[in-house]
Amino acid sequence: MKNFVVKTLANAGALGVAIWLVQDITLTGESTGKKALTLILVALVFGLVNFLVKPIVKLLTLPLFILTLGLITLVVNALMLMLTSWLADLFDLSFHVEGFWTAVLGGLIISLVSWALNVVLPDGD
């Protein structure tokens, strides 16, 4: 359970950095508290997408992973971020990613920040 909370907080931090750095990734809200709650909920959706959908997509695109020496990971991460944006819209969360290239840049930022946060944050059961 503690590991789930740590990973969700790392995702929320990584999403927050991407929102801060990339102009076309937006999170809107009336107050700071609502924005923080929305960010946590989007992090949960993002974690769920990465847990359920990403392994299937990676398996289906395995030949492309081998052919591109793993660079297709950027595209897969961008697609997972766009899927998260679409699901956030379905759940009426005010998170939006505008365009594929924005998602590629956002996915790269989220991957780097999430990796760094997972190294720093405690990992326990």
pLDDT of 125 > 60? The answer is no
pLDDT digits (tens, 9 = 90+) for 3-16: 788 888 888 999 99
Question: What is the rounded CA–CA span in Å between residue 101 and residue 4?
Answer: 29
Q: Label residue 117 by pLDDT band (50, 70, 90).
A: confident
| CA dihedral angle for residue 86, residue 89, residue 91, residue 93, rounded to 10 degrees | 120
Residue 1's pLDDT is 64
pLDDT digits (tens, 9 = 90+) for 25-60: 999 878 888 889 999 999 999 999 988 998 898 899
